[in-house]
């Protein structure tokens, strides 16, 4: 009997080794040796044996990558070694400047670099303690990320244990989770078949799959992992002389790494690597958005060090935005939450950078006029990363006959109210307010969104139906919904109806700042809502305060103050708020902080203007950081502006700043200034 069990145990072990070997072939080497069906058979056989002999299941068995019960929310994990970002190079000159700086510091004529693809996925950190995968986290803000251990456990190319002869006390492996192009296409096909939402690109699919509170969903998605570095460690075997040796070591521990990585020297080496990877890009099994160069010698890396949040020893050389030619079939107008009308080009479907694009934003009428875009034109469509595709330019030579100029409609295409354009705005607006179904839908979606009332499951399709069937007219109506009304909607099973009702119920317990943000007051974004909550402490105070008093609050200028006063003066808004409160929405109120306490903040009284894109943070994050130090962010450069932060591709604000001799800060200088004033 014992011998029999021993035999089964061995059989299971060899199945496990074989399956992990195939995972490795598929994900790490991109070279599967057996068809999927054969893999599935091996897997099923192992599952059968484990079911018959549950005492023989091991933690590192491939069958254990199935996910666990759903979490309520992700907990946080601090990164002892920060997960920083990289500075970007866009043109050869940027790379030459990078190499020059490196050589100046290292006093060298030619530097050895490790060049590798820049994965277009999600950065993660994997923590192994004594050789066992203990915890995994997202990058978050670089210092604190989300604990996504359960999700990461389901990824087949992430070792659950390290080889037995290598069980270091601690090793944090850093890398990127992504979805291979083939798996992405298969997933979208499946989503279409199941009537589920399709993903725009592999990166979104990977991110959506990885940040699931229910890891059993992650387990059904094929995700891949590639390592590119190490975080915290306590491992005498980890080579510390060269980046490339460190990567070889990770390979010996069976971590997948990019096999296109290469050691090159000098700027010529870097640029020819860029060319070569660029030409292979389409044929790679995963999406990349550029390449990364790292000084290979670790001692030299340390000499070069870091500037604010990015290493000086490495740089990302990005590929240009992807472009394609197509034709404009029509120009339609979309109505947003605040009534803003956005012209959208309906395109002959075109494949750009891995996605089929059928619509592209035209931003506003000024852009249309500037680019002279007309229906029927052949246009260049551009897509960069996650950004909404846009019409970059038209090909005037291809306009065969004179076609009429596009005009914005004089009436809203949805509710037929008048359209107006205020003197100081680029946009046209529908004056229908909440009478306009389009605005109503957007207002409700905004109210329910994650950073507002966070009603999970209340998506676009559902809100559309609710408004069209007139069962919801205002956010307050959400709290009056019954099961029958909901379950009568299309594609709404009783179970999902129950889930939505549950989510609505749960949203009743909220915070004042979320509630203020959820109201969708013009010009009141998340940060302003937080400030209002912080300084006023109660909704009643906010509803009754004068615009002069409002302007005492940091970051609240005359425009924001006026929007707030106007909003609460509206009878209709007061009624909705009354109903919302009556339905049981509640939060904790407090006395409110005196805005005066801001007078002692390090940058209070200063005004910043941002122009161009920052590589290390979004514009919202930058604004928040500036506000936290007590300074204001303004949209326009004037003589009163203290600093203009200049990112990549700055706009006309840059020229204005130069002409007014306002102090300019590049991203590094801006980060340094923030750091100097951190409290």
Tell me the C-alpha distance between 559 and 568, whole Å.
Answer: 15
Of positions 139, 254, 318, 382, contacts ligand IVH by CB under 6 A: 139
Interaction of residue 119 with ligand IVH, rule CB under 6 A: yes
555, 568 contact by CB (below 8 A): no
Residue 228 makes contact with ligand IVH by CB under 6 A: yes
Interaction residues for ligand IVH, span 63-82 (CB under 6 A) = none
State yes or no: residue 118 binds ligand IVH (CB under 6 A): yes
363 interacts with ligand IVH by CB under 6 A:
no
Question: 261 vs 345, which CB is nearer to ligand IVH?
Answer: 261
Half-sphere exposure of 1 (CA within 13 A, CB side): 0
Residue 43 has a CB neighbour count (10 Å cut-off) of: 15
Round to whole Å and give the CA distance between 340 and 90: 34
Respond yes or no: is residue 7 known to be catalytic. no
98 makes contact with ligand IVH (CB under 6 A): no
Selecting among 7, 9, 118, 601, the annotated active-site residue is 118
Shortest distance, CB of residue 166 to ligand IVH, whole angstroms? 23
Q: Does the protein bind ligand IVH through residue 113 (CB under 6 A)?
A: no
Taking the complex as a whole, the smallest distance from the CB of residue 172 to ligand IVH amounts, in Å, to 13
> Closer CB to ligand IVH, residue 262 or residue 522?
262
Of the residues 115, 123, 126, 179, which one makes contact with ligand IVH according to CB under 6 A:
123
Residues numbered 157 to 176 that lie near ligand IVH (CB under 6 A) are 176
Q: Which residues make beta-bridge pairs with 382?
A: 323, 390
Closest CB to ligand IVH among residues 427, 648: 648
Q: How far is CA 141 from the centre of its chain?
A: 12
Binding to ligand IVH (CB under 6 A) within 487-526 occurs at none
Nearer to ligand IVH, 304 or 392 (CB): 304
Taking the complex as a whole, the smallest distance from the CB of residue 347 to ligand IVH amounts, in Å, to 30
Residue 304 binds ligand IVH (CB under 6 A): no
Residue partners of 383: CB distance under 8 A and separation at least 6: 321, 322, 323, 352, 353, 355, 357, 389, 390
Tokens of 624: 């928040």
What's the residue count for the chain? 679
In angstroms, how far is the first alpha carbon of the chain from the final one?
69
Q: Which position among 111, 171, 250, 292 is part of the footprint of ligand IVH (CB under 6 A)?
A: 292
**Residue whose beta carbon is closest to ligand IVH:** 123
The residues, any chain, with a CB within 8 Å of residue 157's CB and separated by 6 or more, are: 23, 24, 26, 27, 28, 224, 225, 256
Report, in Å, the least distance between residue 86 CB and ligand IVH: 4
564 φ, ψ to 5°?
-65, -50
CA–CA separation, 176 vs 155, rounded Å?
A: 12
CA distances from 542 to 523, 545, 546, 627 (A): 15, 5, 9, 20
Nearest approach in angstroms of CB 669 to ligand IVH is 19
Estimate the crossing angle of helix 619-628 against helix 526-536, to 10 degrees.
Answer: 20
C-beta of 210 vs 448, nearer to ligand IVH: 210
User: Residue 85, interface with ligand IVH (CB under 6 A)?
Assistant: yes
Least Å from the CB of residue 225 to ligand IVH = 12
Among 49, 57, 71, 84, which residue sits at the site for ligand IVH (rule: CB under 6 A)?
Answer: 84
Of 530, 588, 542, 587, residue with least CA distance to 567: 542
Alpha-carbon gap, residue 437 to 417, rounded angstroms: 11
Q: How far is the CB of 387 from ligand IVH (least distance, A)?
A: 16
User: Could you list the residues that contact ligand IVH (CB under 6 A)?
Assistant: 84-86, 116, 118-119, 123, 139, 176, 228-229, 292, 311, 316
Residues marked as catalytic: 118
């Amino acid at each position: 009997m014992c011998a029999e069990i021993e035999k089964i145990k061995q059989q299971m072990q060899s199945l496990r080794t074989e399956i992990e070997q195939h995972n490795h072939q598929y994900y790490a080497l991109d070279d599967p040796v057996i068809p999927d069906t054969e893999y599935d058979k091996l897997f099923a056989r192992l599952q059968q044996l484990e079911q018959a002999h549950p005492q023989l299941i091991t933690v590192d068995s491939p069958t254990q990558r199935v996910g666990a019960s759903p979490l309520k929310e992700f907990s946080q994990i601090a990164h002892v070694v920060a997960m920083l970002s990289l500075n970007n190079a866009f043109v050869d000159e940027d790379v030459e400047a990078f190499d020059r700086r490196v050589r100046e510091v290292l006093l060298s004529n030619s530097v050895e670099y490790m060049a590798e693809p820049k994965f277009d996925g999600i950065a993660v950190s994997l923590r192994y303690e004594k050789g066992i995968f203990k915890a995994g986290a997202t990058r978050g803000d670089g210092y604190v990320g989300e604990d996504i251990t359960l999700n990461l456990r389901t990824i087949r190319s992430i070792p659950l244990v390290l080889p037995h002869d290598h069980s270091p006390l601690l090793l944090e492996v850093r890398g990127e989770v992504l979805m291979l192009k083939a798996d992405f296409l298969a997933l979208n096909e499946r989503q279409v078949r199941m009537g589920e939402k399709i993903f725009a690109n592999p990166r979104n699919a990977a991110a959506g799959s990885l940040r699931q509170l229910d890891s059993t969903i992650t387990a059904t998605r094929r995700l891949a992992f590639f390592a590119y570095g190490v975080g915290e460690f306590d491992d005498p075997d980890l080579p510390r002389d060269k980046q490339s040796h460190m990567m070889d070591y990770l390979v010996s521990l069976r971590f997948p790494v990019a096999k296109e990585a290469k050691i090159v020297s000098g700027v010529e080496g870097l640029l020819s690597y860029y060319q070569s990877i660029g030409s292979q890009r389409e044929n790679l099994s995963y999406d990349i958005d550029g390449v990364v160069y790292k000084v290979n010698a670790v001692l030299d890396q340390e000499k070069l060090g870091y500037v604010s949040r990015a290493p000086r020893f490495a740089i990302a050389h990005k590929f240009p935005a992807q472009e394609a030619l197509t034709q404009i079939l029509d120009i339609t107008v979309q109505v947003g939450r605040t009534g803003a009308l956005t012209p959208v080009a309906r395109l002959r479907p075109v494949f750009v950078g891995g996605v089929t694009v059928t619509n592209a934003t035209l931003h506003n009428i000024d852009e249309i006029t500037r680019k002279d875009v007309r229906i029927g034109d052949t246009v260049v469509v551009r897509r960069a990363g996650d950004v909404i595709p846009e019409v970059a330019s038209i090909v005037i030579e291809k306009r065969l006959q004179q076609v009429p100029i596009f005009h914005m409609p004089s009436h809203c295409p949805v509710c037929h109210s008048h359209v107006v354009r205020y003197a100081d705005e680029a946009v046209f607006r529908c004056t229908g307010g909440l009478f306009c179904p389009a605005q109503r839908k957007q207002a409700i979606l905004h109210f329910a969104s994650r950073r507002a009332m966070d009603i999970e499951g209340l998506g676009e399709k559902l809100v559309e139906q609710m408004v069209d069937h007139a069962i919801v007219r205002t956010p307050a109506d959400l709290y009056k919904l019954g099961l029958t009304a909901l379950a009568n909607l299309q594609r709404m099973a009783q179970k999902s109806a129950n889930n939505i009702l549950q989510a609505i119920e749960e949203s009743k317990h909220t915070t004042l700042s979320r509630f203020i943000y959820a109201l969708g007051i013009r010009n009141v974004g998340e940060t302003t809502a937080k400030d209002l909550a912080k300084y006023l402490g109660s909704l009643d105070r906010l509803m009754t305060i004068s615009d002069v008093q409002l302007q005492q609050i940091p970051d609240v200028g005359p425009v924001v103050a006026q929007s707030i006063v106007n909003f609460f003066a509206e009878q209709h808004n007061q009624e909705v708020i009354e109903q919302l409160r009556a339905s049981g929405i509640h939060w904790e109120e407090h006395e409110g902080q005196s805005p005066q306490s801001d007078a002692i903040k390090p940058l209070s009284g200063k005004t910043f203007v941002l122009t161009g894109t920052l590589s290390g943070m979004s514009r919202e994050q930058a604004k928040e950081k500036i506000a936290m130090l007590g300074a204001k962010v303004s949209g326009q450069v004037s003589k009163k502006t203290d600093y203009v932060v200049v990112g990549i591709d700055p706009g006309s604000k840059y020229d204005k700043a130069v002409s007014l001799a306002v102090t300019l800060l590049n991203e590094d200088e801006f980060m340094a200034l923030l750091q100097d004033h951190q409290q």
